[in-house]
Amino acid sequence: MILLDGKKTAQEIRTELKTAIDKLKTEGKKTPGLAAILVGTDSASEIYVNSKAKDCNEIGMKTVTEKRDASISESELLELIESYNKNKDFHGILVQLPLPKHIDEDKVIEAISPQKDVDGFHPMSVGKLVIGKETFRSCTPAGIQELLIRYNIETKGKHVVVLGRSNIVGKPIANIMLQKKEHANSIVTICHSATKDISSYTKQADILIAAIGRAKFVKADMVKEGVVVVDVGINRVDDATAKKGYRVVGDVDFDEVSKKASYITPVPGGVGLMTRAMLLKNTYTAYLKYGK
């Protein structure tokens, strides 16, 4: 079994981007910029946005975090987004979700310029992905594919089984993997809450991508020998022996399934760090395409 090391791979990506940005600075050129907007005081969102700012600082990418109170009106938030749509110093815009209930998330996502949609959530980005056009891809699915690429895992003609159909992971990774392109071209099955006898599908998987938010759901008897496992799940389980009183585990029972897998991601240390790295990569791409 080989560990799909998201920490190591994400660091490689950040190093590559830092080299490219250092070169821009040496040449006296404008550098990429990412604007993050955080509404409210959700602790998980604050940690995530702060980590993204830290990543930007590490590679020399310009960044700003706009923090707003949860009482901000929808119109005020849309005005803030529009100000960054027009700001030529920032090439990517990230609005951290979830938003307060009085704000329409769809309206906010659609307000971001497709040229700065580095989260890959805009309907134009999603539509281009479905029909196979070059576009920004949401960061977690893009990170999954990047891991497969960097570990030289064959995907052509392989059966990819995706557990979960969210707009953030399940649907986009399914669309990425079925494209008639290099590092994709797979046979794709999506399983979800209405799937009967889910193990009959997971046992067929050459590559299993678990993104359903159920701790240790996938057991060893649900997969075949040699399967490639990508675990997107982030679940807290009580653990009195842990310093914080809980442990973070994935959707896959790592101890069981790793004994049968050829490759597997750890949790933590796997896909989550790749998500952050791909946000940086998308922002650099936005700079190259639209911002120089």
DSSP H or E segment with residue 145 = helix 139-150
Please tell me which residue in 5, 55, 62, 96 is annotated as part of the active site: 96
Whether 206 is catalytic? no
CB-side exposure of 247: number of CA atoms within 13 Å?
9
**According to the 3-state scheme, what is the secondary structure of 216-270?**
CCECHHHCCCCCEEEECCCEEEECCCCCCCEEEECCECHHHHCCCCCEECCCCCC
**According to the 3-state scheme, what is the secondary structure of 146-171?**
HHHHHCCCCCCCCEEEEECCCCCCHH
Please tell me which residue in 55, 117, 119, 231 is annotated as part of the active site: 119
**266 phi/psi in degrees, rounded to 5:** -85, 160
- Calpha distance 138→97 (Å, rounded): 13
Whether 119 is catalytic? yes
Whether 52 is catalytic? yes
CA 78 vs. chain centroid, Å, equals 24
CB contact at 8 A, 3 and 147: no
Per-residue burial over 227-254, b = 16 or more CB atoms within 10 Å of its CB, e = otherwise: bbbbbbbbbeeeeeeeeeeeebbbbbbb
* Catalytic positions, written as ranges: 52, 96, 119
